[in-house]
Amino acid sequence: MSVLAAPPRPRTWPRTVAVLVVLALITAATVTPAIGGIRIDLGTIARHWHFGWTKVQQMFDPDLSILPRTWKPLLETLEIAVVGAAASALLALPLSLWAARPTNPTWGRSAVRAVLNAVRAVPDLVYATVLVAMVGVGALPGVLTLVLFDLGVVVKLVSEAIDSADARYLEAGLAAGGTQAQANRMMAVPQTWPAYASQVLYSLELNVRISSVLGLVGAGGIGRLIDEVRGFYRYGALGVIIVEILVVVVLIEVASNVLRKRLR
């Protein structure tokens, strides 16, 4: 006849209320124009929503005459993406080994990480804008932008993969008398290879998306055409270009997913 008493409920509501109040305060601060917040103007949406709707409708009314002009920029977009991914892949492997503790127990680790954290904090199109002003219009600033962006992503993820990987092989290599460089080459690199290859493929996927808008600031590829048709209000043509990008992005994603599954 034992009576099981339920354990007392933990008191979580004060914390929940506190979190909600903080969130509400931040939100209130961002939407109060009196203290520099954003003015939410639902009236304009009610009055002008049909302008946007017309644009969307025009996009769904494809203007196929643009099609022959899209092939070259589309190819250039893909080429920029591939070259950017390849160049960053070459640089990323040594940098990842340098930034991870097991493969580099001595010096410079946190410096590499700090620099790459800063590199990652700048958005891609900001790099592109500044680089176009530096080296001129064309594919080169696009490739450089992608290299910087990819390095940030790939080195971070791969060096973290090395950090959390099983260090036994590396230790065996060192115990057998290998130098750190030899052990890295024979043990760490083969062990990290699948993670590295998978991240490089992922960066290629991201590159295709990014390089399709890089042209908006003059860094080559189909973005330049997007900018042009937008300037002429050819929304039908814009719709066609978006569909093309969609197809290419999906194809690359599918291919890279298939390849990544085989890597495991």
With binding defined as CB under 8 A, does residue 143 bind other proteins? yes
Find the binding residues for other proteins in span 84-123 (CB under 8 A). Answer: 86, 101, 110, 113, 117-118, 121-123
With binding defined as CB under 8 A, does residue 150 bind other proteins? no
- Torsional sign, CA 18, 23, 27, 30: positive
With binding defined as CB under 8 A, does residue 126 bind other proteins? yes
With binding defined as CB under 8 A, does residue 136 bind other proteins? yes
Q: Of 121, 93, 125, whose CA–CA distance to 209 is shortest?
A: 125
93 vs 130, which CB is nearer to other proteins?
130
Segment near other proteins (CB under 8 A); pick from 166-174, 176-184, 185-193, 240-248: 240-248
Query: SS3 letters for 45-77?
Result: HHHHHHHHHHHHHHHCCCCHHHHHHHHHHHHHH
* Cα atoms found within 13 Å of the Cα of residue 14, Cβ hemisphere only: 2
Gap between the Cα atoms of 87 and 240, Å rounded: 31
With binding defined as CB under 8 A, does residue 190 bind other proteins? no
21, with CB counted inside 10 A (0-12, 13-18, 19+), is exposed
Contact residues toward other proteins (CB under 8 A) are 26-27, 30-31, 36-41, 44-45, 48-49, 51-52, 55-56, 59, 75-76, 78-80, 82-83, 86, 101, 110, 113, 117-118, 121-126, 129-130, 133-136, 138-140, 143-144, 160, 163-164, 209, 212-213, 216-217, 226, 230, 238, 242, 245-246, 249-250
